[in-house]
């Protein structure tokens, strides 16, 4: 899981801008995509680097004000996503199928730049390196090279600030947090070069490959205030809840969603079923993503801090508990136990996605099948494990209908659909 | 050789002036066309030669020089294209030589030249569609306000920062300070930019006020272009210009990278009622400037408008000329004989001329060498070539702009050409224009860019959405009687109407 962003100022007054804090806040808004490491690199004739392991507001808070630069890139991720080779820095999301990964891709780009223009060099990378990835590269003179490979599986969105700056980020919400207007997506196979005085574009296609959207982004990964590839994440999640209510109705007095991803899903379920929505939890401390935490203990700490039940919302009620996905069942088991402890009579679990069945070759955060509870147990068996009175998943068809694009425009691999 | 008719002079050498010269040449009265410009524009040159007129290179903002050429050639009517000659009194000096002029004299052109004076005039005369503003004589004077905290209890956090003088469409910055955590960056940028404006405007040496800060509003923009004879204002179809250099409304401010109009007099996202209100605003501004200056307004006049949630049609800037590229759309659609129209403006008989426009959709796309608008030196000096035959076959027209013909044709640093296409709807016209952009290039391999999104279906959808949002809000204000009303609550002072404050300040 990775979030990347890049920003550059335009024109003769570009040196009047300092981008480091824009990057800082943009990355804060992408924090849910990766919590292990954060880096920023800026350019003002030289490259300046800051960052390290840890969350954005621990790692970058000191010194970011002093980093000069009118263009820059940033990443939240596992550490290997950023690399520097000579005059070229690169932040990448996804998996380029190339020995040596992002490091080799960066050095390849760097050597291509010796003899080609930034646009030609970036096009050549997309032509020659298969995989599923997006990247944002920066040279010391502030030129940004932005590329999304023809698979389209790793998202990139474009923002603009008045007459002064342009930016790209994994999600539109990060652009808005930087005060920008979200204006477009980077299209699958598109290369964009911004050098302060021009914006150039080129398009790459791969024989036999059509672009697809990552369905996991809409179910779980993206923030619900993001719009990606022109589809509002919020609208998809509400629709998931509505479809789920049709497919898996329940007799209950209250619907509650597990924060934060499943809250819009719960709203949709409530709307379609007529069962009132209640706010069932309050969170403590920083926002964490419990599915992607490293060790089991860390995950549990995350869940327990994030999900303190609101007794008055569930006491003496039959409850529909809505969550976005099930990885190992740890979160659910804990939550169901806590709800019953706080007075819920029945707990019917409804999951806003089909069972996760396979790891993702482009995204290391979905575990192997033997670590995925949904890949081997039935709905009733899982209900027993987590202590719920019933448990139902969204159907694959329901997911596709909720996203609202044809099946062959979606990657559904983690739900067990090959192709 | 034609040219039994009247001698008409066109001042200026850009795409708009090429379109003006062409519209004159279309007239059934077979006029002889003369031109004075600072660059030799091959499109204008050809029209001038075919009509049997003459072409001279001279500084077009030098009143003596232009008047001298006009009287040497014995021209009867002069049409002024760009704004700078108007600011410098070229219309005045032509009038002194007994040339009939279509173009604002200096005292009228002030309405465009001084953006601050325009705003004051609007408030003084109670013309609707107003914005709050403040002016400064130096950047030092502006500094405190520009740095004011983003929690200031009034409009100053989201502003447009402009040169107080029209500066060729340069130097406007729109800064929303809606993220207190990025306030420092934005405040610093505003101060540095104000310092630049101060220096830049002092270079013109004709205005005391340097910096204008206006409240920031949002909504779709459009230009209303009109003809004035001093008694009647007749307006044409609405046109939308696009100022950002690059696609998806990104990048630095330019003079305009492309414009679209129609089909019909309205834009798809503006209503008839909004059109009428816009005409009313422009009309009242012309009345005001005539009354205050004692001059008769004979010439083109335009309102650059925005549909805002605050008041509906709102005046952003006034032009004492046609827009560029908007003028190209307007004149391409004009079916009335242009010379008849010029004469009616001069004679004060505009009300007796029936103004007719084609109902078609038009799209204009500007082409600019890489480097424009911020590095004009890099953008200049490149050999340029167009296959006009191919363009005509595809249904486009080419209007040469910032190019100079001398031992070949070279770019001079600004928008080199504009391509016009017609269609039954805007996306169709946009696609035709897009196809034609392939027929023009720079011969040395330097980049020539344009915006493919001008008039596209996607752009129209976004404009529609924006207009719907603004309209829903201003209509609700209208119902509740709060159109254009603002209220601040300032700790220690209580409830304040910033508009009343402004009016008090203007009265002194």
Given its phi and psi angles, is residue A35 left (phi above 0), alpha (psi -120 to 50 degrees) or beta?
alpha
Residues of B in contact with A175 (CB under 8 A): none
Give the ranges where A99-195 is alpha helix by DSSP (H): 101-115, 118-128, 172-177
Q: Per the CB < 8 Å rule, is A22 touching B247? A: no
Query: Which of A211, A227, A254 delimits the end of a domain?
Result: A211
Rounded to the nearest angstrom, the gap between the alpha carbon of residue A88 and the centroid of all alpha carbons in its chain is 25
For residue B367, what are the β-bridge partners?
A: B417
What is the per-residue pLDDT across A229-263, written as a single tens digit (0 to 9) for each? Answer: 999 999 999 999 999 999 999 999 999 999 889 99
Q: Are residues A203 and A312 in the same domain?
A: no
* Residue B149 in domain: yes
Q: Are residues B152 and B226 in the same domain?
A: no
Q: Are residues A206 and A231 in the same domain?
A: no
Confidence of residue A290 (pLDDT cuts 50, 70, 90): low
Q: Do the bridges between strand A227-228 and strand A281-282 make them parallel or antiparallel, or are there none, so unpaired? A: unpaired
Q: Are residues B97 and B24 in the same domain?
A: yes
What crossing angle do the helices spanning B426-436 and B457-480 adopt, rounded to 10°?
140
Q: Are residues A157 and A287 in the same domain?
A: no
Q: Which residue has the higher pLDDT, A56 or B267?
A: B267
Residues 6+ apart with CB under 8 A from A301: none
**Which CATH number covers residue A26?**
3.60.20.10
Rounded to the nearest 5°, which phi and psi values hold at A263? Answer: -65, -45
SS3 A412: coil
End-to-end CA distance of chain A: 21
DSSP state of B320: S
What is the C-alpha separation between A229 and B367, in angstroms, rounded? 29
Nearest residue to B68 (alpha-carbon basis) of B46, B50, B94: B94
Q: Per the CB < 8 Å rule, is B243 touching A22? A: no
Confidence of residue B3 (pLDDT cuts 50, 70, 90): very low
Q: Are residues B420 and B446 in the same domain?
A: yes
What is the per-residue pLDDT across A112-140, written as a single tens digit (0 to 9) for each? Answer: 999 999 999 999 999 999 999 999 999 99
**Tokens coding A112:** 């291509």
**Tokens coding B361:** 């959709």
What is the C-alpha separation between B382 and B368, in angstroms, rounded? 11
Looking at chain B, the number of H-run helices and the number of E-run strands are 17, 27
Whether chain B has a CB inside 8 Å of the CB on A374: the answer is: no
What is the per-residue pLDDT across B364-385, written as a single tens digit (0 to 9) for each? Answer: 999 999 999 989 999 999 999 9
Q: Are residues A200 and A221 in the same domain?
A: no
> Does pLDDT of A30 surpass 80?
yes
Chain A nearest CA to B467, separation (Å): 16
Q: Which residue has the higher pLDDT, A412 or A284?
A: A412
SS3 A40: strand
> Does pLDDT of A79 surpass 70?
no
Mean pLDDT across B140-169: 84
Rounded to the nearest angstrom, the gap between the alpha carbon of residue A336 and the centroid of all alpha carbons in its chain is 26
Confidence of residue B1 (pLDDT cuts 50, 70, 90): very low
* Residue B474 in domain: no
pLDDT of residue A209: 83
Query: Which of B414, B438, B457 delimits the end of a domain?
Result: B457
ipTM of the complex: 0.89
Given its phi and psi angles, is residue B383 left (phi above 0), alpha (psi -120 to 50 degrees) or beta?
beta
Q: Are residues B313 and B451 in the same domain?
A: yes
Q: Are residues A199 and A288 in the same domain?
A: no
What is the C-alpha separation between B382 and B401, in angstroms, rounded? 14
What is the per-residue pLDDT across A173-182, written as a single tens digit (0 to 9) for each? Answer: 999 999 999 9
The CB-side HSE value for A367 (13 A sphere, CA atoms) comes to 18
A384-417 as b/e: b if 16+ CB within 10 A:
eebbbbbbbbbebebbbbbbebebeebbbbbbbb
Q: Are residues B318 and B172 in the same domain?
A: no
Q: Are residues B138 and B96 in the same domain?
A: no
Q: Per the CB < 8 Å rule, is B375 touching A12? A: yes
Q: Which domain holds residue B211?
A: 132-216
Query: How many domains is chain B partitioned into structurally?
Result: 3
Q: Per the CB < 8 Å rule, is A164 touching B173? A: yes
Partner residue opposite A197 with nearest CB, options B193, B244, B374: B374
Q: Per the CB < 8 Å rule, is A179 touching B178? A: yes
* Residue B485 in domain: no
| A350, A266 contact by CB (below 8 A) | no
Rounded to the nearest 5°, which phi and psi values hold at A218? Answer: -75, -35
Q: Are residues B251 and B186 in the same domain?
A: no
Query: Which of B216, B244, B273 delimits the end of a domain?
Result: B216
Q: Which of A23-32, B177-186, B440-449 has the lowest mean pLDDT?
A: B177-186
Between positions 365 and 424 of B, the ones with CB within 8 A of A are 370-371, 373-375, 378
What is the C-alpha separation between B422 and B395, in angstroms, rounded? 7
Query: Which of A211, A242, A267 delimits the end of a domain?
Result: A211
Q: Are residues A280 and A200 in the same domain?
A: no
For residue B101, what are the β-bridge partners?
A: B78
Nearest residue to B239 (alpha-carbon basis) of B45, B42, B19: B19
Nearest residue to A319 (alpha-carbon basis) of A336, A307, A302: A336
**Which CATH number covers residue B424?**
3.30.470.20
Query: Which of A156, A182, A211 delimits the end of a domain?
Result: A211
The CB-side HSE value for A30 (13 A sphere, CA atoms) comes to 35
Q: What angle do CA A352, A358, A360 make, to 5 degrees?
A: 95
Rounded to the nearest 5°, which phi and psi values hold at A205? Answer: -125, 155
Q: Are residues B348 and B246 in the same domain?
A: yes
Q: Are residues B68 and B160 in the same domain?
A: no
Residues of B in contact with A67 (CB under 8 A): none
Q: Are residues A61 and A190 in the same domain?
A: yes
Q: Are residues A241 and A341 in the same domain?
A: yes
Q: Are residues B162 and B269 in the same domain?
A: no
What is the per-residue pLDDT across B421-479, written as a single tens digit (0 to 9) for each? Answer: 999 999 999 999 999 999 999 999 999 999 999 999 999 999 999 999 999 999 999 99
What is the per-residue pLDDT across A271-281, written as a single tens digit (0 to 9) for each? Answer: 999 999 999 99
**Which CATH number covers residue B198?**
3.30.1490.20
> Following DSSP, what letter does each residue of B479-492 receive, concatenated?
HHT-TT---EEETT
**Tokens coding A236:** 């998809």
The full length of chain A comes to 419
Confidence of residue B13 (pLDDT cuts 50, 70, 90): very high
Q: Do the bridges between strand B403-405 and strand B133-136 make them parallel or antiparallel, or are there none, so unpaired? A: unpaired
For residue B159, what are the β-bridge partners?
A: B175, B215
Q: Per the CB < 8 Å rule, is A164 touching B246? A: no
Residues 6+ apart with CB under 8 A from A306: A259, A281, A283, A284, A287, A288, A290
User: Which of B251, B367, B437 would best serve as a mutation to test chain A binding (most A beta carbons within 10 A)?
Assistant: B251
* Residue B60 in domain: yes
Residues of A in contact with B253 (CB under 8 A): 163
Q: Are residues A166 and A301 in the same domain?
A: no
Q: What is the 3-state secondary structure (H, E, C) of B88-99?
A: CCHHHHHHHCCC
Residues 6+ apart with CB under 8 A from A18: A67, A68, A69, A70, B185, B188
SS3 A233: helix
Number of Cβ pairs < 8 A linking chain A and chain B: 89
Q: Are residues A235 and A364 in the same domain?
A: yes
Whether chain B has a CB inside 8 Å of the CB on A11: the answer is: yes
pLDDT of residue A286: 64
Confidence of residue B2 (pLDDT cuts 50, 70, 90): very low
Between positions 161 and 190 of A, the ones with CB within 8 A of B are 162-164, 166, 177-179, 181, 183-184
Rounded to the nearest angstrom, the gap between the alpha carbon of residue A363 and the centroid of all alpha carbons in its chain is 10
| B352, B41 contact by CB (below 8 A) | no
Residues of A in contact with B378 (CB under 8 A): 197
What is the C-alpha separation between A417 and A102, in angstroms, rounded? 28
Whether chain B has a CB inside 8 Å of the CB on A75: the answer is: no
User: Which of B219, B252, B376 would best serve as a mutation to test chain A binding (most A beta carbons within 10 A)?
Assistant: B252
Q: Which domain holds residue A250?
A: 216-415
**Which CATH number covers residue B40?**
3.40.50.20
Q: Are residues A403 and A369 in the same domain?
A: yes
Quick one: which H or E segment has residue B411? Answer: strand B409-412
Question: Omega of the bond prior to B370 within 30 degrees of 0, cis?
Answer: no
Q: Per the CB < 8 Å rule, is B374 touching A179? A: no
Residues 6+ apart with CB under 8 A from B407: none
Give the ranges where A220-280 is alpha helix by DSSP (H): 233-247, 262-273
What is the per-residue pLDDT across A322-367, written as a single tens digit (0 to 9) for each? Answer: 999 888 888 899 899 999 999 999 999 999 999 988 888 876 667 7
Q: Are residues A231 and A201 in the same domain?
A: no
What is the C-alpha separation between A234 and A245, in angstroms, rounded? 17
What is the C-alpha separation between B179 and A181, in angstroms, rounded? 13
- Give the alpha-carbon dihedral of A353, A358, A359, A362, to 10 degrees: -80
> Does pLDDT of B401 surpass 70?
yes
Mean pLDDT of chain B: 94
For residue B228, what are the β-bridge partners?
A: B233, B299
Query: How many domains is chain A partitioned into structurally?
Result: 2
Alpha carbon of B18 to those of B307, B343, B411: distances in Å? 31, 20, 16
Burial of B30 (0-12, 13-18, 19+ CB in 10 A): middle
> Token pair 């004709």 is at which residue?
B206
Q: Per the CB < 8 Å rule, is B189 touching A17? A: yes
> Does pLDDT of B61 surpass 50?
yes
């Amino acid at each position: 899981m990775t979030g990347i962003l890049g920003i550059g100022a335009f024109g003769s007054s570009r040196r009047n801008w300092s981008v480091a804090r824009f990057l800082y806040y943009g990355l804060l808004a992408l924090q849910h995509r990766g919590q292990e490491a954060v880096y920023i690199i800026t350019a003002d004739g030289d490259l300046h680097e800051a960052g390290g392991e840890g969350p954005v507001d621990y790692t970058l808070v000191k010194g970011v004000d002093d980093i000069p630069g009118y263009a820059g890139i940033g990443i939240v991720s596992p550490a290997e996503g950023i690399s520097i080779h000579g005059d070229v820095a690169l932040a990448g999301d996804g998996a380029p199928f190339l020995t040596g990964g992002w490091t080799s891709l960066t050095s390849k780009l760097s050597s291509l730049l010796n003899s080609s223009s930034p646009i030609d060099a970036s096009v050549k990378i997309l032509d020659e390196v298969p995989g599923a990835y997006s990247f944002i590269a920066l040279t010391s003179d502030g030129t940004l090279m932005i590329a999304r490979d023809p698979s389209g599986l790793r998202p990139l969105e474009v923002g603009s600030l008045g007459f002064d700056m342009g930016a790209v980020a994994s999600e539109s919400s990060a652009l808005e947090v930087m005060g920008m207007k979200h204006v477009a997506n980077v299209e699958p196979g598109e290369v964009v070069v911004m050098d302060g005085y021009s914006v150039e574009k080129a398009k790459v296609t791969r024989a036999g490959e059509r672009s697809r959207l990552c369905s996991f982004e809409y179910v779980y990964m993206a923030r619900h205030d993001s719009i990606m590839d022109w589809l509002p994440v919020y609208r998809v999640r509400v629709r998931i809840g509505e479809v789920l209510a049709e497919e898996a109705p329940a007799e209950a007095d209250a619907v509650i969603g597990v924060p934060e991803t499943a809250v819009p899903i719960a709203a949709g379920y409530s709307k379609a079923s007529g069962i009132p929505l209640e706010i069932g939890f309050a969170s403590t401390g920083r926002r964490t993503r419990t599915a992607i935490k490293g060790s089991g203990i860390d995950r549990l700490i995350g869940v327990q801090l994030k999900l303190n039940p609101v007794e008055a919302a569930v006491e003496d009620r039959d409850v529909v508990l809505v969550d976005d996905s099930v990885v190992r069942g740890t979160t659910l088991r804990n939550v169901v136990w806590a709800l019953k402890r706080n007075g819920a009579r029945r707990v019917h679990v409804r999951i806003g996605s089909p069972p996760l069945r396979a790891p993702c070759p482009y995204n290391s955060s979905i575990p192997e099948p033997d670590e995925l509870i949904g890949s081997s147990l039935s709905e009733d068996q899982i209900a027993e494990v987590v202590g719920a009175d019933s448990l139902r998943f969204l159907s694959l068809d329901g997911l596709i209908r909720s996203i609202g694009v044809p099946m062959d425009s979606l990657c559904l691999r983690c739900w067990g659909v090959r192709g | 050789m034609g040219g039994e008719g009247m001698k008409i002079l066109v001042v200026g050498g850009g795409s708009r002036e090429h379109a003006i010269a062409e519209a004159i040449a279309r007239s059934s009265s077979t006029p002889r066309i003369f031109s004075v410009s600072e660059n030799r524009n091959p499109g204008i040159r050809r029209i001038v030669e075919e009509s049997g007129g003459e072409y001279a290179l001279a500084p077009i903002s030098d009143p003596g020089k232009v008047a001298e050429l006009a009287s040497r050639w014995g021209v009867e009517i002069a049409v002024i294209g760009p704004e700078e000659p108007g600011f410098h009194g070229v219309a005045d000096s032509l009038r002194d030589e007994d040339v009939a002029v279509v173009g604002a004299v200096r005292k009228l052109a002030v309405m465009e030249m001084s953006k601050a004076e325009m705003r004051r005039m609007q408030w003084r005369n109670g013309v609707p569609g107003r914005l709050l503003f403040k002016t400064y004589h130096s950047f030092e004077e502006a500094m405190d306000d520009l740095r004011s905290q983003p929690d200031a209890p009034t409009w100053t956090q989201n502003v447009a920062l402009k040169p107080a003088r029209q500066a060729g469409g340069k130097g406007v910055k729109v800064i929303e300070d809606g993220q207190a955590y990025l306030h420092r960056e934005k405040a610093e940028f505003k101060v540095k930019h104000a310092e630049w404006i101060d220096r830049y405007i002092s270079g013109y040496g004709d205005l005391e006020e340097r910096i204008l800060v206006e409240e920031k509003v949002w909504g779709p923009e459009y230009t209303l272009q009109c003809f004035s004879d001093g008694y009647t204002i007749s307006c044409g179809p609405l046109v939308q210009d696009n100022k950002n250099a690059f696609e998806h409304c990104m990048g630095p401010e330019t003079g305009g990278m492309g414009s679209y109009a129609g089909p019909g007099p309205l834009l798809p996202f503006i209503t008839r009622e909004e059109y009428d209100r816009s005409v009313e605003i422009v009309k009242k501004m012309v009345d005001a400037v005539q009354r205050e200056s004692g001059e008769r307004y004979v010439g083109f006049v335009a309102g650059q408008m925005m549909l805002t949630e605050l008041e509906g049609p709102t005046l952003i800037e006034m032009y004492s000329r046609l827009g560029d590229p908007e003028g190209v759309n307007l004149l391409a659609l004009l079916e009335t004989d242009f010379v008849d129209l010029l004469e009616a403006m001069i004679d004060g008989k505009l009300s007796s001329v029936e103004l007719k426009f084609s109902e078609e959709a038009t799209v204009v796309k500007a082409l600019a060498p890489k480097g424009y608008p911020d590095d004009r030196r890099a953008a200049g000096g490149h050999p340029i070539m167009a296959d006009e035959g191919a363009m005509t076959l595809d249904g486009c027209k080419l209007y040469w702009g910032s190019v100079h013909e001398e031992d070949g044709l070279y770019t001079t640093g600004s928008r080199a050409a504009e391509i016009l296409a017609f269609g039954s709807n805007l996306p169709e016209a946009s696609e035709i224009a897009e196809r034609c952009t392939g027929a023009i290039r720079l011969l040395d391999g330097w980049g020539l860019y344009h915006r493919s999104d001008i008039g596209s279906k996607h752009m129209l959808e976004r404009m529609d959405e924006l207009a719907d949002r603004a309209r829903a809000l201003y209509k609700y204000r209208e119902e509740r009687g709060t159109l254009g009303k603002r209220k601040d609550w300032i700790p220690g002072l209580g409830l304040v109407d910033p508009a009343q404050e402004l009016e008090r300040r203007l009265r002194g």
